[in-house]
Chains A and B, each alone.
Chain A
């Protein structure tokens, strides 16, 4: 049937043009990642730049409007972790003393605000307001006072994008807080996003992990430092015919509540080798090696 804009030659030309555009779309889809990334960065830094700027303003506004108590609690916890790096040694020692945080291990993080992303294809991703200029790199861990939020994937100069624990590609080397069982934590999608959970897979079949056991990062794999809370075991998901068990884990972090986060710095020497159990008052597993605390070694 002829279209309303004429038949014959014009339709054929339109079909050719359509085929050309479709071929372009397929080429774009099939391009290797190393060619897609510059294109994505170009679109982000040009057409989408005002959107991200607006988003940053909204995030700051949201942070300012958050309940004062929540903000104070988050700030206190984040401050305790990161303050030692900022050269405010004496003031921070006083504050940490007041808050009972004197013995906490100084860490190698930079503070940031988190902006959740939610559109088709960008579910379970987020932006943070720090980038390569702040010393972060792809693969950096993102944590909140409650535990591990996710990991950075794309890092621009002043902004980065990462995946949170509910992303299908999220994986973290994990262990029970007593160091008894090791495995890998991965995401489990619920029927609704509120039902999203984690699963601890690959634990030894002969080890029973009781419900309520805390699961933390194991430090294996070279991505996340050790001792960051991931969640609490809820129960067994499946037992793989005598070889291994999988447990459902209730996540420590609910993304809806996250505003302020810390991101591990890539230029921090040995950050991945440290154990952060003490920050969350998780008893360190017996095989933990604690490096000497420079704050205690130096003059006070």
Chain B
């Protein structure tokens, strides 16, 4: 199996695990947001347009689970996928620390976009809804993403 397919398999696995943990097993927000992590990791190796398309597909999948504001996650994930693809031009790096910071900012940005597009009323509680909890959630998701990334790199490293 080539590295490219191995990476794609890791991304697909993250997507599958996300839905199984959050929906099928009902862990909800106790489980990290692996869907956004999968998109961000995939987008680093894709063209921005392909990252945006992948984001749209994954976002529509998540939108289809809900009962309101259909398309909000599709739009948010499209933007995040495009930004993830563009990030290769802006930042170089493949260290766990870099990946961790990248995933944290990406998941947080997605949460902000999704919340705003979801029609949350803008009042004094919006800061709490966009900052405190989401940052913790983003760190949690980033930790899971870094772990998956490290597992992939150790698995994909050429044997000596």
Contacts and interface: CB of A to CB of B under 8 A. Distances in A.
Interface string B95-111: 00000000000000001
Interface in B50-66: 52-53, 56, 59-66
A278 interface: no
Nearest to A152: B67
A2 to B, nearest CB: 8
B49 A17 contact: yes
A29 B117 contact: yes
A101 to B, nearest CB: 31
Contacts, number: 135
Contacts of B73: 120-121
Interface in B31-80: 33, 47-49, 52-53, 56, 59-75, 78-79
Interface in A1-52: 1-5, 14-15, 17-18, 21-22, 24-26, 28-31, 33, 36-37, 39-40, 43-44, 47-48, 51
B149 interface: no
Interface string A126-165: 0000000000000000000000000001100000011100
A73 interface: no
Nearest to B119: A168
Contacts of B52: 18, 21-22, 25
A174 B127 CA distance: 32
Contact of B128 (A43, A116, A191): A191
Nearest to B33: A120
B89 A3 contact: yes
Interface string A48-91: 10010011001000100000000000000000000000000000
A122 B65 contact: yes
Contacts of B75: 25-26, 28-29
B25 interface: yes
A48 B20 CA distance: 11
Contacts of B49: 14-15, 17-18, 21
Contact of B61 (A14, A22, A31, A43): A43
A154 B89 contact: no
B67 A154 contact: yes
12 contacts: A3-B88, A14-B48, A36-B71, A48-B65, A51-B19, A51-B23, A117-B28, A117-B65, A120-B73, A121-B118, A123-B29, A191-B128
Given A15-B48, A54-B20, A120-B62, 16 more contacts: A1-B90, A14-B47, A17-B49, A22-B79, A25-B56, A29-B75, A31-B71, A37-B70, A44-B65, A51-B24, A58-B24, A58-B25, A118-B26, A119-B29, A163-B67, A169-B68
Interface of B: 19-20, 22-29, 33, 47-49, 52-53, 56, 59-75, 78-79, 82, 88-90, 111, 114, 117-118, 125, 128
